[in-house]
Structure 1
């Protein structure tokens, strides 16, 4: 199957980006080096094309009830101009995907599914659609740019009239004039730094991209995005949000709702007391990088979990990862062992996030 391309594909190629397949798309993994782009975001400002993400409007009198049925976070707490992170669950208590929900008003919401799960996510919402609800996939109409880093507000403020310093985290402008275009501007991101996500019409993406790069902004690829989000302990889609009910403890989102997703209420009642796995941070003591799906063992070399993602942290200079472990081994400073190819390498559980601004 041919991979899809964002509206900025040619711009990436012109900048010399290394393009790779990702979630059914051809995306830039890096322009210069992952470390250089990582440091640009930590210390100044970087720009990502994340237009592979999906967008769908959920509208009508039944919109809120529809989202409450499938989301683990409490959508009713949203007010216009605010957004929240949530998991979308199955009847078995598993995870369909993690995504963002934006509230325009109590009858109009925008949901942002991950790229590879776009069709699956939207179909899942439609499957539980309540009367008087319209669900519209607008992914092909929108591009998404992420401007991230400590200088992001200063850079973006030069192009918009609204006072961005009044915009809090997970708040957004529903219709901002950006250059000669209209865009949704959200104070959010996936890097652990201050930043903004800009939802614009696909045909306007190149104009906005070029204008931002002229402000001494570094173009960044998915490689840096991954190291940045891991340092901040941000999930990599369902790799960090497992599909079994026994793993729900790791997200904490379910515990925030007095009235859980209706799909989960009966299942949770039946499984009360189930032993949980926890998502923890690990730092390698021995040589090696903890990669996705590597097994994790206790001192008796009994498997106690697995790595969900890992990297060499540019900021810390050490090899770190997130691992889903039996809760008996989740305490800080617990020694564990990671299976790296044919070796068993010592690691320890450490505090997360690995980096916090």
Structure 2
């Protein structure tokens, strides 16, 4: 068995009480204090995450935009320098290769951030469709990523820089921001449903930045956070997780991220025909929110029934720390997707009642 991969921050997890698990081949912290405490810190104050396992590619050259337009579902031509864009990459049948963020650093210079578990698969896919006038590079090992998230995130991070962070608005970024000697790309993005920033820095700066942020954020009650809270936070905000809400068998539209699919853009892209049909003719199945009526937690993979017929399956589920309710996301047949539909979730040997509810489960005020 190959050894687990580690981020540059691995050495300091222990100092903060980090308990690590195998996460897609990475040795990463699931929690530092408790998932509930960390979740609440992000919802109410600020939390700091090590997300250095994420993948980063550069796409540079005169044909960079044209190339990306054929690969991703969103319209890259609308992306201005200093802007970020959420998109998906699809196979020809509309199934999802990955969801990702595109940063436009210059007219012909893009940074692509992909999910850790998909780095090699995504790079191979992008490389196999390379066109002339584009240089594609995997720079994942040259970049570390921290995320500070929560209503007080700006207040905390501002203590480390003279750059006015309030000028970096949602889905915008600034490169070469000086964070007390560490130069970083700072973007107002995140995966928690809260305000916050993602910080792309050199691996050798990651440890000192981590320490400094927690030190200056102590007054605000900033906590180091693990993957457990990251998952409950993104789930409440109904942000999809690749491998669960998005897979090679689930399209971005079925997953509920149709806003990032521009079927009317001029460029042809992989999956365009299928996705166009789904937008125009409607879906046969889609992801909906479930709230348990009976006592039990809907977990990933649990089957969903109406009568004796299986009508879908749970993609993610948990007890929501914010709502104090047992909720889930499930991919169901469209006939059972309307709000208030009563279904049953197979929890071990029992079928427990649940109701289709509105999502996201949480939206910041």
- TM-score, normalisation: structure 2: 0.94
Out of 283, 294, 303, the residue aligned to residue 302 of structure 2 is 294
Out of 318, 326, 342, the residue aligned to residue 311 of structure 1 is 318
- Residue 116 (structure 1) aligns with: 117
- Residue 89 (structure 1) aligns with: 90
- Check the 8 A contact 1:81/1:103 in 2, yes or no: yes
Return the alpha-carbon distance in structure 2 between the equivalents of residues 51 and 246 of structure 1. Answer: 27
Please state if 1:230 is matched with 2:235.
Answer: yes
Q: What does the per-residue CA deviation read over 1:93-134, in whole Å, with 9 as the maximum and x for residues that have no partner?
A: 111011111111221111111011001111111111111100
Return the alpha-carbon distance in structure 1 between the equivalents of residues 234 and 155 of structure 2. Answer: 22
Give the deviation of 1:75 after TM superposition. Answer: 1.2
Please state if 1:348 is matched with 2:355.
Answer: yes
Question: CA distance change for structure 1 residues 61 and 149 in 2, over 3 Å: closer, same or farther?
Answer: same
- Residue 327 (structure 2) aligns with: 320
Return the alpha-carbon distance in structure 1 between the equivalents of residues 116 and 309 of structure 2. Answer: 36
- Check the 8 A contact 1:72/1:261 in 2, yes or no: no
- Matched residue SS, 1:86: strand
Please state if 1:258 is matched with 2:268.
Answer: no
- Check the 8 A contact 2:88/2:98 in 1, yes or no: yes
Return the alpha-carbon distance in structure 1 between the equivalents of residues 22 and 251 of structure 2. Answer: 32
- Residue 218 (structure 1) aligns with: 223
Return the alpha-carbon distance in structure 1 between the equivalents of residues 182 and 275 of structure 2. Answer: 47
Bigger shift: residues 327-336 or 257-266? 257-266
Unaligned runs of 5+ in 2: none
Return the alpha-carbon distance in structure 2 between the equivalents of residues 75 and 126 of structure 1. Answer: 19
For the aligned residue pairs, the C-alpha RMSD in angstroms reads 1.7
Please state if 1:337 is matched with 2:338.
Answer: no
Return the alpha-carbon distance in structure 2 between the equivalents of residues 245 and 228 of structure 1. Answer: 22
- Residue 126 (structure 1) aligns with: 127
Question: CA distance change for structure 1 residues 224 and 246 in 2, over 3 Å: closer, same or farther?
Answer: closer
- Residue 207 (structure 2) aligns with: 206
Return the alpha-carbon distance in structure 2 between the equivalents of residues 246 and 292 of structure 1. Answer: 18
Return the alpha-carbon distance in structure 1 between the equivalents of residues 273 and 337 of structure 2. Answer: 28
- Check the 8 A contact 2:287/2:330 in 1, yes or no: yes
- Residue 43 (structure 2) aligns with: 42
- Check the 8 A contact 2:302/2:345 in 1, yes or no: yes
Question: CA distance change for structure 1 residues 234 and 265 in 2, over 3 Å: closer, same or farther?
Answer: closer
Paired residues, number: 356
Give the deviation of 1:287 after TM superposition. Answer: 1.1
- Check the 8 A contact 2:46/2:223 in 1, yes or no: yes
- Check the 8 A contact 1:97/1:238 in 2, yes or no: no
- Check the 8 A contact 2:96/2:252 in 1, yes or no: no
- Check the 8 A contact 2:96/2:251 in 1, yes or no: no
- Residue 278 (structure 1) aligns with: 286
- Matched residue SS, 1:355: coil
Q: What does the per-residue CA deviation read over 1:56-92, in whole Å, with 9 as the maximum and x for residues that have no partner?
A: 1000011111111111111111001111111110112
Return the alpha-carbon distance in structure 1 between the equivalents of residues 56 and 293 of structure 2. Answer: 42
- Matched residue SS, 1:92: coil
Map residues 177-192 of structure 1 onto 2, 5 A cutoff.
Answer: 177-192=178-193
Q: What does the per-residue CA deviation read over 1:285-314, in whole Å, with 9 as the maximum and x for residues that have no partner?
A: 11111111111111x231111111011101
Bigger shift: residues 142-151 or 252-261? 252-261
Question: CA distance change for structure 1 residues 254 and 227 in 2, over 3 Å: closer, same or farther?
Answer: closer
- Matched residue SS, 2:146: strand
Return the alpha-carbon distance in structure 2 between the equivalents of residues 199 and 60 of structure 1. Answer: 22
